[in-house]
């Protein structure tokens, strides 16, 4: 039988606010354990939460970017469960009235663009973190509450994804949008972006959903795709053996490349959701939403379209150059000093990308700034250096942070414009290539470019190309 995979993702995104969602503690990652805590986020009796306005704004921005409807009157609910990382024994979340609903995200697939539905987007607080340590012969689980109360949004997709590749494309696109909005770091390795993958299979063509399992603990987009591939094969093998799929939560084991059962439906939590009595309902008026909508930055799809239309870039170049807002900014900043989109695109995607990769640094830390790159490109246009020498100069700029002109001067890479020097080389080249000269005189235009190449080679690319051409023609007609 032919099977079809059905996948829906729940993605948690930590918001990059200064303070936590219900108290004034700092929300930053990486501090000494339990230094960003207070009676509110520690859940001590008698404390009351106060909602962080910025967290709501960030969540609304995310909802708008994902084409959702904002719920004008929403509320918070308590999701009750017991775990040591949850000091209050409940998490403040949103249940029946989430902040936003009914959105979509467009992904690229081999058969064209595809819209993936977004069922809901809600606000909640993060839990603390357990740190497992070995001390002598014993192992301990220590709790760090710094993360407790960091604002999160959970974005729940419809079961619209049909392959691990689509799931990966969706998760990557969602991350790209969050980075464009500047509302999260989205670092999977630090847990500021976490993906739970729900998956089932069914006979191809059926419109009934199969029993799903939920995979947790995927630490990268690559693992997400691997875990789904494994799980889909496991489901199919089960069904082929005539067994039923058990609805359960499974964890991905990166090293062994398998999923294993964490808890089954029978052990599933009854969260006993009820309205949070300590917070008033959240009323989001249309004016607030509109002012946030107006302030949204240009998003990836729009930017990519503009790069194609405004700069005449091919689609793949536009995709690469809009991968992050930082790359796009670098590209456009360079254009301000050197308005030649194609050339700049080639250099940003070529030499610059290669050097950044090799050095393992982000474009924002590039030792070569946009203006410096523009100056280098101008030197090529002016004929001061050849395109080939420019690559060496760029490497030197990247390694030392010096500007193109000083490197060209220091290393004696300046073009040769002295007519007599070039004429001498031209004569030598003509003397050394009698056959090519004869070809040229016989009407072979191409022979000239060979001779130009020889002169450039003899001068290590430093001769002024215009002069080389002119003097070659002069000398050849003289013979
Ligand atoms: N049969 C199915 N096959 C694959 N995916 C499914 C199926 N049914 C639901 N899904 C997906 O599973 C996800 C369910 O997420 P949701 O947050 O609504 O519930 P939950 O996982 O039960 O709750 P929790 O937030 O406590 O994990 C959605 O992304 C949805 O698209
Ligand atoms: Mg969920
Ligand atoms: Mg879930």
Map out the domains of the chain with their CATH numbers.
Answer: 3-288 (no CATH), 298-411 (no CATH), 419-478 (1.10.10.410)
Cβ neighbours, 10 Å, residue 70: 21
Angle between helices 465-478 and 419-432 (to 10 degrees): 60
Percent of the chain scored above 70 by pLDDT?
A: 99
159 CA: nearest ligand 1 atom: 31
Q: Find, among 353, 363, 288, the residue nearest to 329 by Cα.
A: 363
210 CA: nearest ligand 1 atom: 1
How many whole angstroms separate alpha carbon 350 and alpha carbon 355? 9
How confident is the model over 187-246, as pLDDT tens digits? 999 999 999 999 999 999 999 999 999 999 899 999 999 999 999 999 999 999 999 999
Instruction: Flag whether pLDDT at 266 surpasses 70.
Output: no
Around ligand 1, the residues with Cβ closer than 6 Å are 6-10, 156-159, 198-200, 209-210, 212, 214
Count, residues in the chain: 479
pTM of structure: 0.88
Distance (Å) from CA 195 to ligand 3 centroid: 10
Quick one: which H or E segment has residue 295?
Answer: none
Residues 6+ apart with CB under 8 A from 254: 219, 223
Residue 66 burial (C-beta neighbours within 10 Å; 0-12, 13-18, 19+):
buried
- The predicted pLDDT at position 267 comes to 62
Dihedral angle of Cα 118, 122, 124, 129, to the nearest 10 degrees: 0
Query: Among the listed ranges 46-50, 183-187, 475-479, which one has the minimum average pLDDT value?
Result: 475-479
How confident is the model over 276-314, as pLDDT tens digits? 999 999 999 999 999 999 999 999 999 999 999 999 999
Q: Are 99 and 74 in contact (CB under 8 A)?
A: yes
Distance (Å) from CA 198 to ligand 1 centroid: 6
ipTM of this predicted structure: 0.96
How many whole angstroms separate alpha carbon 150 and alpha carbon 37? 11
Distance (Å) from CA 192 to ligand 3 centroid: 17
Q: Kindly report the protein residue whose alpha carbon is nearest to atom 25 of ligand 1.
A: 10
Instruction: Flag whether pLDDT at 269 surpasses 80.
Output: no
Q: Which range, 191-195, 449-453, 474-478, has the best average confidence (pLDDT)?
A: 191-195
Q: Kindly report the protein residue whose alpha carbon is nearest to atom 18 of ligand 1.
A: 156
Percent of the chain scored above 90 by pLDDT?
A: 86
Distance (Å) from CA 62 to ligand 3 centroid: 20
Structure tokens at 4: 């079809």
Q: Beta strands 248-253 and 213-218: pairing type?
A: parallel
Q: Are 304 and 319 in contact (CB under 8 A)?
A: yes
- The predicted pLDDT at position 443 comes to 86
pLDDT bin (cut points 50, 70, 90) of residue 100 is very high
How many whole angstroms separate alpha carbon 475 and alpha carbon 91? 86
200 CA: nearest ligand 1 atom: 3
Q: Kindly report the protein residue whose alpha carbon is nearest to atom 11 of ligand 1.
A: 8
Distance (Å) from CA 245 to ligand 2 centroid: 20
How confident is the model over 316-326, as pLDDT tens digits? 999 999 999 99
How many whole angstroms separate alpha carbon 181 and alpha carbon 60? 11
- The predicted pLDDT at position 479 comes to 64
**Cα→Cα distances 313→106, 126, 242, 367, Å:** 21, 42, 53, 26
- The predicted pLDDT at position 1 comes to 85
**Cα→Cα distances 268→119, 248, 263, Å:** 22, 8, 7
pLDDT bin (cut points 50, 70, 90) of residue 388 is confident
How confident is the model over 3-40, as pLDDT tens digits? 999 999 999 999 999 999 999 999 999 999 999 999 99
What's the chain's average pLDDT? 94
- The predicted pLDDT at position 446 comes to 87
Structure tokens at 337: 């000093």
Residue 47 phi/psi, 5-degree rounding, is -95, 160
pLDDT bin (cut points 50, 70, 90) of residue 268 is low
């Amino acid at each position: 039988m032919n099977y079809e995979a059905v996948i829906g993702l729940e993605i948690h995104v930590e918001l990059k606010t200064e303070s936590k969602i219900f108290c004034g503690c700092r929300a930053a990652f990486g501090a000494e354990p339990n230094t960003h805590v207070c009676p509110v986020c520690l859940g001590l009796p008698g404390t009351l939460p106060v909602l962080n306005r910025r967290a709501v704004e960030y969540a609304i921005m995310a909802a708008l970017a994902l084409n959702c409807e904002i719920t004008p009157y929403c509320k918070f609910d308590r999701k009750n469960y017991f775990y040591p990382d949850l000091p209050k024994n409940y998490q403040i979340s949103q249940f029946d009235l989430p902040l936003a609903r009914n959105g979509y995200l467009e992904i690229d697939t081999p058969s064209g663009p595809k819209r993936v539905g977004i069922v809901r987007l809600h606000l909640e607080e993060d839990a603390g973190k357990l740190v497992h340590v070995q001390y002598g012969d014993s192992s301990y689980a220590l709790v760090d509450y710094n993360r407790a109360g960091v604002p999160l949004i959970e974005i729940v997709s419809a079961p619209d994804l049909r392959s691990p590749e689509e799931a990966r494309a969706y998760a990557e696109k969602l991350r790209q949008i969050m980075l464009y909005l500047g509302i999260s770091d989205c670092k999977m390795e630090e847990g500021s972006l976490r993906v739970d993958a729900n998956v089932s299979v069914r006979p191809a063509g059926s419109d009934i959903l199969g029993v799903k399992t939920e995979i947790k603990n995927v630490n990268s987009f690559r693992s997400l795709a691997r875990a789904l591939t494994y799980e889909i094969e496991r489901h199919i093998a089960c069904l082929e053996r005539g067994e039923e799929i058990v609805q359960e939560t499974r964890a991905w084991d990166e090293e062994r490349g398998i999923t294993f059962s964490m808890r089954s439906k029978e052990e599933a939590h009854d969260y006993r959701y009820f309205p949070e009595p300590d917070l008033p309902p959240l009323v989001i008026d249309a004016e607030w939403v509109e002012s946030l909508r107006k302030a949204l930055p240009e998003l990836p799809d729009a930017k990519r379209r503009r790069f194609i239309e405004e700069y005449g870039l091919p689609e793949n170049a536009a995709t690469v150059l809009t991968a992050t807002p930082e790359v796009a900014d670098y590209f456009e900043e360079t254009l301000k000093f050197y308005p030649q989109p194609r050339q700049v695109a080639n250099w940003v995607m070529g030499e610059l990308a290669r050097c950044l990769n090799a050095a393992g640094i982000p474009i924002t830390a590039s030792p070569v700034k946009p203006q410096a790159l523009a100056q280098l490109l101008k030197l090529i246009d002016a004929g001061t250096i050849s395109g080939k020498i420019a690559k060496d100069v760029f490497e030197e700029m990247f390694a030392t942070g010096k500007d193109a002109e000083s490197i060209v001067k220091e290393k004696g890479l300046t073009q040769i414009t002295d007519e007599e020097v070039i004429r001498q080389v031209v004569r030598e080249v003509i003397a050394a290539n009698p056959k090519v000269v004869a070809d040229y005189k016989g009407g072979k235009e191409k022979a000239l470019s060979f001779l130009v190449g020889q002169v450039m080679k003899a001068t290590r690319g430093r001769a002024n190309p215009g002069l080389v051409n002119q003097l070659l023609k002069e000398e050849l007609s003289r013979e």
